Amino acid sequence: MAMRGPGCACCPLLLLLLLRAGQPRGAELTFELPDSARQCFHEDVEQGATFSLDYQCVITGGHYDVDCYVEDPQGTSSTRETKKQYDSFTHRAEVKGVYLFCFSNEFSTFSHKTVYFDLQVGEEPPILPDMGNRVTALTQMESACVTIREALKTVIDSQTHYRLREAQDRARAEDLNSRVSYWSVGETVVLFLASLGQVLLLKSFFTEKRPGSRAVHS
* pTM over cut 0.75: no
Express each pLDDT in 53-112 by its tens digit. Answer: 888 866 666 677 788 888 888 888 777 788 887 888 888 888 888 998 888 888 877 777
CA dist., res. 97 & res. 188, Å (int):
62
Per-residue pLDDT at 27? 77
Beta bridge partners of 89: 53
Q: What is the mean pLDDT of residues 1-27?
A: 48
Residue 10 has pLDDT above 80, yes or no: no
The answer to whether the beta carbons of residues 114 and 30 sit under 8 Å apart is yes
Q: Give me the phi and psi of 156, to 5 degrees please.
A: -65, -45
Side-by-side strand order, sheet with 66-71: 38-45, 97-104, 66-71, 77-84
Q: In terms of Cα–Cα distance, which of 125, 117, 115, 103 is closest to 50? A: 125
CA dist., res. 100 & res. 43, Å (int):
7
C-alpha torsion angle, residues 175, 179, 182, 183 (rounded to 10)? -170
